Amino acid sequence: MSDTVATHRAQMPSGTERFLDARSLTSAHARLAELLRPGMTVLDVGCGTGAITEGIAEAVGPTGSVLGIDLSEALIARAKQRCERAANLSFELADVASLAGRPQRYDVVTAARLLLWLADPRAALAAMASVACPGGLVAVLDYNLRKTSWEPAPPESVPAFYDAFLRWRAQAGMDNEMADHLGALFEEVGLHEVRSVPQPEIARRGEEDFDVRIALWGQVIATRGHQVVADGFLTEARRAAAEADFTEWAAGAAQSQTMWLTAAEGLAPGG
Ranges of H-type helices in the chain: 2-5, 17-21, 25-28, 30-35, 51-60, 73-82, 121-130, 157-171, 178-188, 210-214, 216-222, 224-230, 236-251
pLDDT attached to residue 91: 97
Inter-residue contact 117 to 93 (CB < 8 Å): no
pLDDT at res. 212: 87
Which regions in the chain score pLDDT beneath 70?
1-16, 18-19
pLDDT at 18: 65
Distances (CA, A) of 86 to 42, 56, 80, 90: 14, 11, 10, 8
User: For the domain that residue 259 is a member of, what is the CATH number?
Assistant: 3.40.50.150
Provide the 8-state DSSP code for 27. H
Give the separation between CA 191 and CA 174, rounded to whole angstroms.
22
Give 176-189 pLDDT, tens digit per residue.
Answer: 999 999 999 999 99
Question: Residue 170 contacts by C-beta under 8 Å, 6 or more apart in sequence?
Answer: 176
Number of domains in the chain: 1
Report the predicted TM-score, pTM, of the whole model to 2 decimal places: 0.91
pLDDT given at position 8: 43
3-class DSSP string for 182-247? HHHHHHHCCCEEEEEEECCEEEECCCCCHHHHHCHHHHHHHCHHHHHHHCCCCCHHHHHHHHHHHH
Q: Provide the domain limits for residue 236.
A: 2-267
Residue 19 pLDDT:
65
49-79 pLDDT, tens per residue?
999 999 999 999 999 999 999 999 999 999 9
Q: What is the pLDDT of residue 209?
A: 87
pLDDT at 16: 66
